[in-house]
Amino acid sequence: MRLLFLGDLVGRTGRQAVIDRLPALRQDLKLDFTVVNAENAASGFGLTSKISHQLFEAGADVLSGGNHTFDQKEILDIINKDDRILRPVNYPSGTPGRGFQVYQAPRGKKILVINAMGRVFMNAMECPFRAVDAVLKHYRMGTHAAVHAILVDFHGEATSEKMAMGHYLDGRVSFVVGTHSHVPTADCQILNGGTAYQTDAGMCGDYNSVIGMDKDEPINRFLTKMNRDRYSPASGEATICGTFVETDDATGLAKRIEPLRIGPRLLEHMPTL
């Protein structure tokens, strides 16, 4: 299977860039499945019904989340109804929504997508390692297994925690990708057991910013420790960042992994077929 994961969409400029470019990316890369982290899509905080519809229309198959999943109140109206919208699986029991789901891909393939969130420098959550373990007890990969591929979006602050999750799941899932830092890491690799890994996919947004936000207020807060204004997404031209992975249908393990970067601020890279 050919999978594309796009990192955190930040604000209007980030989501519009993805809406504009994703249809062509699906065609050019002959993609089977696309996951987009959309927890910052609505003015930098959360997700709305309208935006989710626009992203699905553009070609996103699943929208994953993180610590800003519930920032927009209207998410509560849709997160239980639409199984294409995920929130971290290790939220406390009783939290609305779902943290994983099996989806039907083209050519009769099935893919399990799991969304989890780290605990280091983040809000208190249940253990993400045990939460993912509990899901994987019911799923194996490969031609004769329950699913053909498994993708894990691990939303976390600490690179060490993300790396630990990658190695912990190595050989059991197709792809572990980190989100949340909004900065793409240069460590695309296939781990010893055959799992594709990248510590952070980066963001889809304006990189002439402070992790997607207009620069003035973050700088002010670092200088003064005072809140002068609200954070607002930077509105310049967006760069799209993500990760492309191709898996072996027979085993579900990764055959290759490449970064994707399209836009004016970072060195561009387009996966080749």
The reported pLDDT for the residue numbered 142 is 84
Please indicate, yes or no, if residue 6 is contained in any of the structural domains. Answer: yes
Please indicate, yes or no, if residue 100 is contained in any of the structural domains. Answer: yes
Distance, in Å, from the CA atom of 185 to the CA atom of 236, rounded to the nearest integer, reads 22
The reported pLDDT for the residue numbered 96 is 97
Q: What is the CB neighbour count within 10 angstroms for residue 165?
A: 23
Indicate the pTM of the whole model: 0.96
Catalytic residue among 53, 68, 138, 155: 68
Please indicate, yes or no, if residue 268 is contained in any of the structural domains. Answer: no
Q: pLDDT tens digits, the chain, 273 residues: what are they?
A: 999 999 999 999 999 999 999 999 999 999 999 999 999 999 999 999 999 999 999 999 999 999 999 999 999 999 999 999 999 999 999 999 999 999 999 988 999 999 999 999 999 999 999 999 999 999 999 877 789 999 999 999 999 999 999 999 999 999 999 999 999 999 999 999 999 999 999 999 999 999 999 999 999 999 999 999 989 999 999 999 999 999 999 999 999 999 999 999 999 999 988
Selection from 68, 98, 105, 95 nearest residue 83 by Cα: 98
Please indicate, yes or no, if residue 216 is contained in any of the structural domains. Answer: yes
Tally of domains in the chain:
1
Nearest 5°: the CA angle 71, 35, 169 is: 100
Is 68 designated active site? yes
Please indicate, yes or no, if residue 134 is contained in any of the structural domains. Answer: yes
Distance, in Å, from the CA atom of 201 to the CA atom of 220, rounded to the nearest integer, reads 27
The reported pLDDT for the residue numbered 143 is 76
> What stretch of H or E contains 135?
helix 128-136
Distance, in Å, from the CA atom of 7 to the CA atom of 212, rounded to the nearest integer, reads 12
The reported pLDDT for the residue numbered 67 is 93
Please indicate, yes or no, if residue 272 is contained in any of the structural domains. Answer: no
The DSSP-derived string for 6-74 is E-EE-HHHHHHHHHHHHHHHHHHTT-SEEEEE-TTTTTTS---HHHHHHHHHHT-SEEE--TTTTSSTT
Contact criterion met (CB below 8 Å) for 257 and 233: no
Please indicate, yes or no, if residue 269 is contained in any of the structural domains. Answer: no
What is the domain range of residue 205?
2-262
Please indicate, yes or no, if residue 270 is contained in any of the structural domains. Answer: no
The reported pLDDT for the residue numbered 171 is 97
Q: What is the DSSP letter of 207?
A: S
- 2 CB contacts (<8 Å, ≥6 apart)? 29, 30, 31, 32, 33, 244, 245, 246, 247
CATH number of the domain to which 103 belongs: 3.60.21.10
HEC secondary structure over 177-192? EEECCCCCCCCCEECC
